[in-house]
Structure 1
Amino acid sequence: MLTLANVSKHYDGTAPRNVLRGVNLELGSGECVAIMGESGAGKSTLLNLAAGLDRPDAGRIVFDGHDLTTLDDDAGTLQRRQKMGFVFQAFHVLPNLTAAQNIALPLLLNGLRAKDVPARVSFVLQAVGLGGREHALPRELSGGELQRVAIARALVHQPRLVLADEPTGNLDHDTAMRILALLRDLAQKNGAGVLLATHSAAVAAAADRVLRLTPDGLQPHAPGAGGA
């Protein structure tokens, strides 16, 4: 479903640096893979590249049969809108929309019939433990609730690929485990792939595979090797 082949990325500036070098990854349908690594190792950059939000300096990124490195902006946007769900560390929840309206955005952008939207939104609200909070504005929600809104928005359109950057960082342990179970359920039932970046060993342990991002690429992460 998702292949990164010898992907490299560097950034110019006052202190040019190589963020990723020779990264290889295969993510299969229905599989959940956790990426661990030190702060600044490039985990967020890796997710942005996998989404086609950024382009590598070298290598290929193939998602669902399409080489993302060759798509124009419109084609890349369509791939993301229809087939991907994102959970960003900064949430990116729109401040003037309610929780339900934020979650409904992917459905409306993908042309789902308006009469079918409320049921889908209600289902994911309940699934992430936000039943009864559908009319709340972002300023009325806690950090953990905002994170759950972001997760619900990423899942509501049943994407083929979910990319999650520290998806449980603001959640208590029980809620985090429930959210992870929801991500796993999505992967198994819909044949979706889940790629998540995390510092948490407990979160990583719920994945099918755990990989550690190092200057030399992605390496299998040995149990007990630390949570960073």
Structure 2
Amino acid sequence: MLELQGLGKAYTNGRQVLSNLSWKLEQGEYVAIMGESGVGKSTLLNLIAGLDTPDAGEVIVDGIAMSGLDDDAATIVRRKKFGFIFQAFHILPHLNILQNVALPLMLNNLPQDRATEMLAAVGLHGRERDFPRQLSGGEMQRVAIARALVHRPGLLLADEPTGNLDPDTAHSIQELLRNEIKTNKASAILVTHSPLAAASADRVLVLGRDGLHPA
């Protein structure tokens, strides 16, 4: 599903954060990645998502080298195959939350009724017409989770998806993520500092200065 070949990236200050990282995520595998702050966990997700460009190496998705695609082709691959949950949420302020969640369905020409279902699944039934300005940080995080899952992506990338949630809500969201991933036979990478969140994955890896290793 996903292969990283010799991936390298340095910060703008010149500090090398990832160096010659090679790794493979199998189809249907759900992996949690942990590690100290500053080792490059979020950077790694951004490189996989195509939101940042590696200094060296290649990201391959379903046998497709992402660097070989022009912007339009790369956008189509991300739109169809990827789901993103990032810490900044990226909820569109001028759309209500139902429209935000339905956006991946609209872009992929899919029926939009699942958007209501996913909002209910994250505990926001009855809030469909609310706008982002009416939501708490935890509620916006749940909207972002619903939007990432709504089109049943083949690859889910999640950066601290339960970081703004209370323990009970975090637990229910972790169960939802795992159920959606397994039901849809998707692959997923969860970046987290939480051992409880990581425990929901099939296996846990630690990102260090010398690459990815089993926890």
Q: TM-score by structure 2 length?
A: 0.96
| Structure 2 residue 124 is matched with structure 1 residue 126 | no
Partner of 1:161: 155
Partner of 1:220: 214
Partner of 1:77: 75
1:24 CA drift (Å): 2.3
Structure 1 residues 103-145: Cα deviation after superposition (integer angstroms, max 9, x where no partner)? 0111111122xxx31x211110111111111111111111111
Is the Cα contact below 8 Å between 1:93 and 1:146 reproduced in 2? yes
Query: Which amino acid counterpart does residue 25 of structure 1 have in structure 2?
Result: W
Between the aligned partners of 1:66 and 1:53, the Cα distance in structure 2 is 17
Partner of 2:14: 16
Between the aligned partners of 1:175 and 1:194, the Cα distance in structure 2 is 20
Describe the SS at the equivalent of 1:69: helix
CA RMSD in angstroms, aligned pairs only: 1.2
Structure 1 residues 83-108: Cα deviation after superposition (integer angstroms, max 9, x where no partner)? 10101101011112111011011111
Partner of 2:91: 93
| Structure 2 residue 116 is matched with structure 1 residue 136 | no
Structure 1 residues 143-183: Cα deviation after superposition (integer angstroms, max 9, x where no partner)? 11100000000011111011011100001112112111122
| Structure 2 residue 105 is matched with structure 1 residue 107 | yes
Selected match of 1:32 from 30, 33, 45: 30
Partner of 2:55: 57
Partner of 2:164: 170
Between the aligned partners of 1:130 and 1:60, the Cα distance in structure 2 is 39
Query: Which amino acid counterpart does residue 95 of structure 2 have in structure 1?
Result: L
Identity over the aligned pairs, expressed in percent?
60
Describe the SS at the equivalent of 1:158: coil
Question: Any gaps of 5 or more consecutive residues in structure 1?
Answer: 222-228
| Structure 2 residue 193 is matched with structure 1 residue 199 | yes
Q: Which runs of 4+ in 1 moved over 4 A?
A: none
Q: Would you say how many aligned residue pairs link Structure 1 and Structure 2? A: 215
Query: Which amino acid counterpart does residue 211 of structure 2 have in structure 1?
Result: G
Describe the SS at the equivalent of 2:45: helix
1:6 CA drift (Å): 2.0
Describe the SS at the equivalent of 2:92: coil
| Structure 2 residue 178 is matched with structure 1 residue 184 | yes
Partner of 2:42: 44
Partner of 1:226: none
1:25 CA drift (Å): 2.1
Between the aligned partners of 1:217 and 1:92, the Cα distance in structure 2 is 29
Partner of 1:5: 5
Question: Any gaps of 5 or more consecutive residues in structure 2?
Answer: none
Is the Cα contact below 8 Å between 1:30 and 1:189 reproduced in 2? no
Is the Cα contact below 8 Å between 1:29 and 1:191 reproduced in 2? yes
Q: TM-score by structure 1 length?
A: 0.91
Query: Which amino acid counterpart does residue 23 of structure 1 have in structure 2?
Result: L
